[in-house]
């Protein structure tokens, strides 16, 4: 209980640092409750999940993950990566804090030029429009893969087990349809910002590399939802993956690259603020948080 009590919305955090000539400000949408971890991952026994979590001093009865949103000022453009849950509370009452967090960081929604989304799940596109369909970032172009847009706005998926995701995607994406730009794999679609497809979690899931001067930051999106489980056991399948086997292939490829090149990452769902490095460790990987500098 102590853990969840500590997550009752208070002052939304923000944290800012330089990346080459660019400026990165991290804001928070708040925490998501994913329920019992033993039902969230496939291909592993409950005993092993509990053993890994226990060895990291984490609770075994509930999985809580963060939503770390990056605002990047780079070469005259301001891009915001992922938009949080908006008003949807299907993953608990502690999310939907983006607008408060931006206010706290003195960032006006009207100053955002680009909303960059790794994929079209509710916790990534849920904060694009208000409940009445009004765009919450009036001057922003929305960047997303076409595959994800087509899949998650497809009305034929309504009434299936994808129903909630499709309804939330349609609510947030259809009102801004004319302002959506699709990026291709490998494309530098904004100055210094490149899309790198890592499909499987969704069919158009993408990661992003931000480059400024001689510094880089790789935004992992939902390549790994958990800073321990899906790194120590990168072969695990996550219950929300559309193509779990492909997700494992993409995860292993990207994690190998990140460990090999020692590239800084921003991990959307890792513990706040989600900045650090991923290194090879035992038969998998480990997240090494970067100390915050105040």
Task: Please report whether residue 82 would count as binding Zn ion according to CB under 5 A.
Answer: no
User: Pick from 66, 88, 123, 241: which binds Zn ion (CB under 5 A)?
Assistant: 123
Residue closer to Zn ion (CB basis): 66 or 222: 222
For residues 159-218, which are near Zn ion according to CB under 5 A?
Answer: none
Among 73, 222, 232, 241, binds Zn ion (CB under 5 A): 222
Work out whether 241 is an interface residue with Zn ion (CB under 5 A): no
Q: Which residue has the tokens 């460790």?
A: 281
CB of 123 to Zn ion, least distance (A): 4
Q: Which window, 2-10, 39-47, 132-140, 220-228, contacts Zn ion (CB under 5 A)? A: 220-228
Query: Should residue 148 be labelled a site residue for Zn ion when binding is judged by CB under 5 A?
Result: no
Closest approach, Cβ 173 to Zn ion, in A, equals 16
Angle at 21 between CA 278 and CA 180, to 5 degrees: 75
What gap in Å lies between CA 128 and CA 141, rounded to an integer? 10
Q: What is the 3-state secondary structure (H, E, C) of 4-51?
A: HHCCCCCCCCEEEEEECCEEEEEEECCCEEEECHHHCEECCCHHHHHH
- Backbone conformation region of residue 212, classed left if phi is above 0, alpha if psi is from -120 to 50, else beta: beta
Q: Does residue number 66 form part of the binding site for Zn ion (CB under 5 A)?
A: no
The two structure tokens encoding residue 284: 């998998």
Nearer residue to Zn ion within complex by CB, 15 or 238: 238
Q: Which segment (90-98, 108-116, 118-126, 183-191) binds Zn ion by CB under 5 A? A: 118-126
88: contact with Zn ion by CB under 5 A: no
What are the phi and psi torsion angles at 26 (to 5°)?
-95, 130
C-beta separation of 233 from 283 below 8 A: no
Residues that bind Zn ion (CB under 5 A): 123, 222
């Amino acid at each position: 209980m102590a853990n969840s009590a500590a997550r009752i919305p208070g002052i939304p955090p923000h944290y800012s640092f330089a990346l080459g000539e660019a400026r990165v400000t991290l804001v928070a949408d708040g925490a998501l409750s994913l329920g019992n971890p033993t039902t969230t991952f496939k291909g592993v026994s409950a005993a092993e999940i509990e053993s890994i979590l226990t060895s990291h001093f984490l609770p075994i009865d509930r999985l809580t993950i963060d939503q770390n949103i990056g605002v990047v000022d780079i070469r005259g453009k301001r891009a915001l990566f992922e938009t949080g849950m908006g008003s949807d509370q299907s993953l608990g009452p502690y999310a939907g804090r983006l607008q408060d967090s931006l206010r706290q960081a003195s960032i006006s929604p009207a100053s955002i030029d680009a909303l960059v989304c790794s994929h079209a799940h509710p916790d990534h596109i849920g904060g694009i429009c208000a409940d009445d369909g009004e765009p919450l970032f009036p001057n922003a172009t929305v960047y997303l893969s076409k595959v994800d847009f087509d899949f998650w706005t497809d009305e034929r998926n309504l009434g299936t087990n994808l129903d909630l995701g499709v309804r939330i995607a349609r609510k947030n994406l259809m009102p801004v349809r004319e302002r959506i730009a699709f990026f291709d794999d490998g494309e530098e679609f904004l100055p210094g910002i490149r899309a790198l497809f890592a499909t499987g979690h969704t069919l158009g899931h993408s990661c992003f590399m931000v480059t400024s001067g001689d510094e880089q930051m790789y935004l992992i999106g939902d390549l790994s939802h958990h800073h321990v489980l899906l790194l120590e056991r990168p072969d695990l399948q996550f219950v929300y993956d559309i193509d779990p086997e492909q997700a494992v292939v993409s995860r292993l490829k990207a994690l190998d690259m990140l460990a090999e090149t020692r590239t800084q990452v921003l991990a959307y769902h890792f513990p706040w603020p989600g900045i650090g490095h991923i290194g090879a460790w035992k038969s998998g990987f480990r997240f090494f948080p970067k100390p915050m500098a105040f």
